[in-house]
Amino acid sequence: MANPEELSPLLVNQGNEDANFNKGEVPVTPKKSTLEEPAHNCYVGSVGWTADGLPVGHGSVVGEPVVRSRWDSSLFACLGRNDEFCSSDLEVCFLGSLAPCVLYGSNIERLGSQPGAFANHCLPYSGLYLLGNSLFGWNCLAPWFSYPSRTAIRRKFNLEGSCEAFSRSCGCCGAMVEDEVQREQCESACDFATHFFCHTCSLCQEGRELRRRLPHPGFNGRPVMVMIPPMEQTMGRGGV
């Protein structure tokens, strides 16, 4: 009768090890590698992400400088572009020329989408607008109140500022642009100068940018179910 241990396939290696041990050889077992490759070799640094998926910080995840996107339209393109937003661009130009307080309030409402944002910004702007025109003959006080909106739009969408655009076109002030703190201080000063000297054009440019990137907070894209009551039924005899 055969030995059951000899017929077991699981004991083949054990028999080989016993034979090697009798010959004076020490069996060597394969060691597990201590350096195991991670399942996902990705780097997550202390950077934030904008609405377009671009990193915000001192550099990108691969060590390259952050590429900022440009504004959709230039500062002096008051009539906008001939695309699907053409009618909206004309409305922005009309509001910026005749009612800048309404355009500014609409921009803040679309940017912040908070209840009461329109009234909280439109009314103070209107007061400064009237005060500046009555005392100095031109709108010189409202830009002090409205220029932070340009900075907020630039930071939200990671847009290229005036200082960075000037450095890119002229090739100067590269060291200041690379330093994040100095660049942001220069861009904030440029935002104020743009609102102060080209206030209407600045509001229109911001309005065109926001309408192309963000829907109005009052827009509701969900379908509405309308319930129609059944028709009034009357009981009657046939043939009457």
What's the gap between Cα 140 and its chain centre?
31
Q: Residue 27 has what pLDDT?
A: 52
In the prediction, which pLDDT does 79 show?
A: 87
| pLDDT score of 135 | 95
Residue 3 is predicted with a pLDDT of 53
Of how many residues is the chain composed?
240
Residue type, 227: M
pLDDT tens digit sequence for 40-89: 443 333 344 444 444 444 444 444 556 788 999 999 998 888 888 899 99
pLDDT of residue 224: 58
Residue-number span of the structural domain to which 158 is assigned: 70-216
What the block records as the tokens of 171 is 């090739």
* pLDDT on residue 78: 84
Three-state SS sequence of 196-239: HHCHHHHHHHHHHHHHHHCCCCCCCCCCCCCCCCCCCCCCCCCC
In a domain, 19, yes or no: no
Residue 200 belongs to a domain: yes
Residue 60 included in any domain: no
Round to whole Å and give the CA distance between 143 and 128: 9
- The reply to whether 77 falls in a domain is yes
Regions of the chain where pLDDT drops below 70: 1-66, 113, 173-177, 218-226, 234-240
**Would the pTM of this model clear 0.85, i.e. be above it?**
no
Please report the pLDDT score of residue 83 as a whole number.
85
Q: Which two tokens stand for residue 178?
A: 């690379």
Domain-embedded: residue 159: yes
Whether 22 is covered by a domain: the verdict is no
**Does residue 126 lie within any of the structural domains?**
yes
Number of folded domains in the chain?
1
Three-state DSSP class for 40? coil
